[in-house]
Each structure stands twice: as C-alpha cells, then as structure tokens.
Structure 1
Amino acid sequence: MDKSWLQQQVLERLAADLLQVEQAVSVAHEAATHEENIAENKYDTLGLEAAYLATGQARRAEAIRQALVQWRLFRPQPYSASQGIQLGALVCLLGADEKQQQIFLGPEGGNMKLLIGAETIQVISSQAPLGKALLGKAEGDEVTLEVAQVKQQWEVLSVT
C-alpha cells in the first residue's frame, strides 16, 4: 500500500470536512446575527445559542486547518527495524479475536477510517492510546492496551 496515496486520501477527507464545517459556521453565524433572533427578553436565548454553536464550529474548523497543515508537511518514512514503529508506519495487527486490522500512524488530526476497496485502514495519531503503544514495536511484538478496564491485545504481523 502506497503511504503517499494514503496521505492524499486523508488530506482529501480533511478538506471535505473543513468545507462542511465552514458551511456550518456560516449558517450558525447567520442564525446568531439574524434580526429575528434578537432576544426579546432574558429567556429568549436562541441568538445566544446560535452564537455558541458558531464559536464551537469555528474552533472545529481551525482544528481541521491545523491538521491539514500537519498532514501536508508529513513525509512518511520507510519502516526501519532498528527504530521500530514510528510515525508514518503502516501496521498490520492481529487481534485476540484472530481478526487483522490495518493501522496507519500519522500526525494529529487525521483520526479516521479509510475504505480502500474491501480493506479498511484505521488512521490514528501517535498520541492516540494505540499509537503510543505501537511506537518502537517491531514485527512479532505484542501490544497490550487497557481501555475502560478491558485489556486488549494484538500481535504486530507486519510493518511497512
């Protein structure tokens, strides 16, 4: 699997997400400033609620813009057995349930699932719990993670 192509897929998804959020910001801003939403009494909070929504959407848009910058600057490196799994690794894991899972370890802000043909690739950051647990591991290593008091285990089958 070509990591540059995966990176391009993430960038396209982030760009689409940004467009959608920017449209939501515009709608929320319009609702917050529309003359029909001016408060008539202290209990009339529609305009205030729309302003809060617009602010939250604007923050989300900025987070996506930051992620786009990080992903544009990101240069996935080939796997080095001496360093173990690092940012940019494409990892195949085998779970305790005998199911395989593909993980692409990237920079912040790209947490998503990509459907490539019949295959699903989970994109996570090195700051995600599983991302942190994978760093430095090599093929054949076991990775253990406890989430909500449930222990999960995987074996690293392959890394590229």
Structure 2
Amino acid sequence: MDKRWLQQQVLERLAADLLLTEQAALTAHETATHEENIAENKYDTLGLEAAYLATGQARRAEAIRQAIAAWQQFRPRAHDDTLGIQVGAAVCLVDAQDRRQWVFLGPPGGSMKLECRGQPIQVISADAPLGRALLGKCVGDDISTEIEPHRLQFEVLQAT
C-alpha cells in the first residue's frame, strides 16, 4: 500500500473541496451584500440568510485549510508490530462474512473513500469510532465498535 500516494490523493481532494467551498462562500457573500437583497421589511430575509450561509462556508473553508495543514505535515511511517496500529497505518479488516476492507488511519479532516490499484480504501482519523478502536491493536486482534445503529466487529488481518 503506497501511503505517500494516499496522502497525495487526500491532499488533492481537500484542495478541490477548499476551492469549491471558497467559491460558495464568495457567492453567498455577494448575494448577502447585493443591493437588490437589502431587506425592505422584517419578512425579507434573503440577505440575512445569505450572510449566515457565507459565514458557514467561511468556517468550512477554514476547517479544510486546517486539515490540509495537518495532512501536509503528516509523515506516514512503516507499521511497527511492537506499537500496534498507529496513525499512518493501512489496515486490512475482515468481518464475520469474510468481507475485507482497507482502512488508512490519518490525521483529522481527511475522511473519504479512495481507490488504490483497484482496491477501495476508507480514509479515517483516529478520532473516528473505528479509528479509536484500531489504535494499539495488532494483526489477529478482534475489534468491535458501535456506529449507530450498528455494532461492527472485525479482525485485523494485515497492517502496513
């Protein structure tokens, strides 16, 4: 599993999300401040609603910038069996129905699905319920986590 490639894919996706979010914030700001949207009475709230939307989009853009900074500083290391699964691990899990899934444990803000050489990979952070359950586990360990409304159980098949 090429962790540097995965990191680059996360950064590219975050950069694209940031661009869209900044454009949405700009559009909402322009709508909020446009002269045609000045409230004529207390029921005329288009400008106010656009201002709330612009604020929300600006907050989202800042969160994405923070995620980009965390992912740029992130240096995935080789898995160390003595430490168990840590941030930076790529982990293959298997469930009771013998379905396998790959998870890449990274910094906050990069939760997404990617594909590497035809293999789907779920990128999660250590703050996610599954991420917390994985920390410190080793190959062969069973993990269980609750993601409402389901209880998920896996065995750690491989960690790199």
What does the per-residue CA deviation read over 1:141-160, in whole Å, with 9 as the maximum and x for residues that have no partner? 00101222532100100000
Gaps of 5+ in 1: none
Aligned to 1:4: 4
In the superposition, relative to structure 1, how do residues 149 and 28 fare at CA in structure 2: closer, same or farther (>3 Å)?
A: closer
Equivalence for 1:64: 64
What do residues 62-113 of structure 1 show as CA deviations (whole Å, max 9, x unaligned)? Answer: 0000000000000001101100000000000001232111000000000000
TM-score for both structures, normalised by structure 1:
0.97
Cross-structure match for 1:82: 82
- CA distance in structure 1 between the aligned counterparts of 2:124 and 2:89, rounded to whole angstroms: 11
Please say if residues 129 and 146 of structure 2, whose CA atoms lie closer than 8 Å, have aligned partners that are also in contact.
no
- The 2-side partners of 1:148 and 1:2 are apart by 31
Q: Report the TM-score when normalising by structure 2.
A: 0.97
Decide whether aligned partners of structure 1 residues 97 and 20 sit closer, same or farther in structure 2, where only a CA change above 3 A counts: same
The corresponding residue for 1:95 is 95
Provide the rounded CA distance (Å) in 2 between the counterparts of 1:119 and 1:149. Answer: 27
Q: Are residue 21 (structure 1) and residue 21 (structure 2) matched?
A: yes
SS of the equivalent of 2:55 reads: helix
Q: What is the RMSD computed on CA atoms of the aligned residues?
A: 0.9
Gaps of 5+ in 2: none
Distance change in 2, residues 1:149/1:30 (3 Å): closer
Aligned length: 160
Equivalents in 2 of 1:94, 1:142: separation in Å?
10
Question: Which segment drifts farther, 77-86 or 110-119?
Answer: 110-119
Describe the SS at the equivalent of 2:43.
Answer: coil
What is the CA–CA distance in structure 2 between the aligned matches of 1:31 and 1:61, rounded to whole Å?
18
- In the alignment, does 2:150 pair up with 1:150? yes
Q: Distance in 2 between matches of 1:56 and 1:23?
A: 13
